[in-house]
């Protein structure tokens, strides 16, 4: 097969340097070093420098690409050729064949997995000593625990969230497959949600776990989710900000320096546009024609007070989120599909980015929805390593 290496190969390597450092695994790095040694692009001293003087995988990759591109176009062309032969998928992702960033082929549709793809032992071992990644020993992964709260039936019957049973089942299946023991609650008041979080913050597994997930699905408004006794004249609400108080270092020291992942499916406001039914606080906006399109909207030691969090919300501030009355919410469907398909190789922020990407083409009637990351304070990358 003819290799289509760009004329200015050294510049091409410079253009893809950051992504190569992020994506190249240790096996590929070792293979490229050996190939370039045979080609006399690298000498024995340079080989040992790359392998022995750099402790982390990322530093080895950075040293390799910098050393080669500094040798000019001919050396860079040889590295690109070996990269194409050794890892065609990464080669294509970097866009090196055309000299431009790779563009997805419009006729190719992503196939979403319905079950979780297992990560490989080699991938997990490759990440073990990377200081930019949260530690994930197998013993800590076996102590994972998650809190799942789903409000379906409300005191005011017309606020009942049809299709939310599907969301609850999908999320419980996903969390279990990721290795989390699921503490599940259904149909809670705002006070009961607070109590459930307080109890969860004292769970005995938190001392040994590597991470926790908190998933809350209900009606909502900006800054709060609604309890099942909510009425316009007597608001029953739980403030989202209280999650951070319950899981913070003062009340829950067991989770210090551990990722705390929060996922919320609920409206964050009224937004605009024509919609059948809305999971918001204003009951007057609930319509009777939900069958039309089958969609509804859902609405002494000093430590950092708020660190190692990432929140993923179903919509942007002041807007609504949607729920199918049979299949559940697109947000929860997308989260499950993306994590099933990519959690074996992508970190949490990349997974959430892929979910947001799916919303780019989500339009219902006159309205759109966009999931959003919020209050992200993860100084490192977190991987689920499913199946280990």
**Calpha distance 312→291 (Å, rounded):** 28
Q: Where are the alpha helices (DSSP H) in 24-177?
A: 26-38, 44-52, 57-69, 73-86, 88-94, 121-128, 138-141, 164-177
Supply the pLDDT for residue 296.
Answer: 62
Which CATH number belongs to the domain containing residue 364 in this structure? Answer: 3.40.50.1460
Whether residue 208 is found in the same domain as residue 262: yes
Q: Mark whether 82 and 150 lie in a shared domain.
A: no
Query: How are beta strands 212-217 and 260-265 bridged, if at all?
Result: parallel
The answer as to whether 100 is a domain residue is no
Which of residues 45, 78, 94 is at a domain's end? 94
Q: Quick check: 250 and 298 in contact, CB under 8 A?
A: no
Q: Does 351 share its domain with 242? A: yes
Tell me what pLDDT residue 57 has: 92
Quote the crossing angle between the two packed helices 26-38 and 73-86, to the nearest 10°: 130
78 shares its domain with 151: no
Whether residue 320 sits in one domain with residue 356: yes
CA 185 to chain centre: 23
Mean pLDDT by 10 residues, the chain (388 residues): 49 89 91 90 90 89 91 88 84 67 52 92 93 95 97 94 94 97 98 97 97 96 93 92 94 96 89 40 33 52 75 90 86 95 97 93 73 93 95
Residues 150 and 270 in one domain: yes
- Is 114 within a domain? no
**What is the count of structural domains for the chain?**
2
Rounded distance between C-alpha atoms, residue 20 and residue 8, angstroms: 17
Residue 62 in domain? yes
DSSP 129-149: T-TTB----HHHHTT-EEEEE
Q: How far apart are CA 247 and CA 250, in angstroms?
A: 8
Q: Within a domain: residue 162?
A: yes
Structure tokens at 196: 């459930």
Same domain, 330 and 241: yes
Question: Following DSSP, what letter does each residue of 243-298 receive, concatenated?
Answer: HHHHHSTTT-GGGTTS-EEEEEES--S--SS--S-B-SS-GGG--S-TTSTTEEE-
Active site residues: 219, 267
Identify which of 215, 202, 306 has the alpha carbon closest to the alpha carbon of residue 254. 202
- Shared-domain flag, residues 168 and 312: yes
Same domain, 199 and 257: yes
Q: Are residues 28 and 127 in the same domain?
A: no
Range of the domain at 291: 121-374
CATH of the domain at 16: 1.10.533.10
Do residues 131 and 31 both lie within one domain? no
Centroid of chain to Cα 383: 9
What pTM does this model have?
A: 0.67
């Amino acid at each position: 097969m003819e290799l289509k290496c760009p004329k200015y190969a050294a510049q091409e390597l410079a253009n893809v340097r950051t992504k190569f450092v992020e994506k190249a695994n240790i096996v590929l790095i070792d293979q490229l070093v050996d190939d370039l040694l045979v080609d006399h692009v690298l000498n024995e001293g340079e080989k040992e420098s790359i392998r022995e003087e750099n402790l982390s995988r990322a530093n080895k990759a950075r040293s390799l690409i910098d050393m080669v591109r500094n040798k000019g176009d001919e050396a860079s062309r040889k590295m690109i050729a070996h990269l194409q032969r050794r890892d065609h998928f990464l080669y294509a992702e970097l866009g090196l064949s055309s000299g431009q960033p790779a563009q997805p082929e419009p006729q190719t549709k992503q196939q979403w997995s319905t079950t979780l793809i297992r990560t490989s032992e080699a991938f997990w071992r490759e990440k073990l000593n990377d200081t930019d990644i949260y530690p994930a020993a197998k013993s800590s992964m076996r102590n994972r625990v998650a809190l799942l709260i789903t409000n379906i039936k409300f005191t005011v019957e017309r606020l009942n969230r049809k299709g939310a049973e599907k969301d609850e089942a999908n999320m419980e299946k996903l969390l279990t497959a990721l290795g989390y023991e699921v503490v599940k609650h259904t149909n809670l008041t705002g006070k009961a949600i607070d109590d459930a979080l307080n109890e969860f913050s004292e769970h005995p597994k938190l001392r040994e776990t590597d991470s926790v997930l908190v998933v809350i699905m209900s009606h909502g408004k900006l800054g709060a989710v609604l309890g099942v006794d909510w009425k316009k004249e007597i608001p029953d609400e739980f403030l989202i900000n209280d999650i951070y108080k319950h899981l913070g270092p003062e009340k829950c020291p067991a989770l210090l320096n551990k990722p705390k992942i929060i996922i919320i499916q609920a409206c964050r406001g009224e937004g605009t546009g024509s919609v059948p039914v809305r999971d918001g606080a204003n009951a007057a906006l609930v319509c009777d024609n939900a069958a039309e399109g089958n969609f509804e909207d859902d609405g002494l030691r000093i430590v950092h007070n708020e660190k190692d969090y990432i929140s993923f919300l179903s919509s942007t501030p002041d807007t609504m989120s949607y729920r199918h009355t049979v299949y559940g919410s697109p947000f929860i469907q997308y989260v499950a599909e993306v994590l099933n398909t990519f959690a074996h190789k992508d970190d949490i922020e990349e997974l959430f980015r892929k979910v947001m990407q799916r919303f780019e083409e989500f339009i219902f009637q006159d309205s759109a929805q966009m999931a959003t990351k919020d209050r992200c304070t993860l100084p490192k990358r977190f991987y689920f390593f499913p199946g280990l």
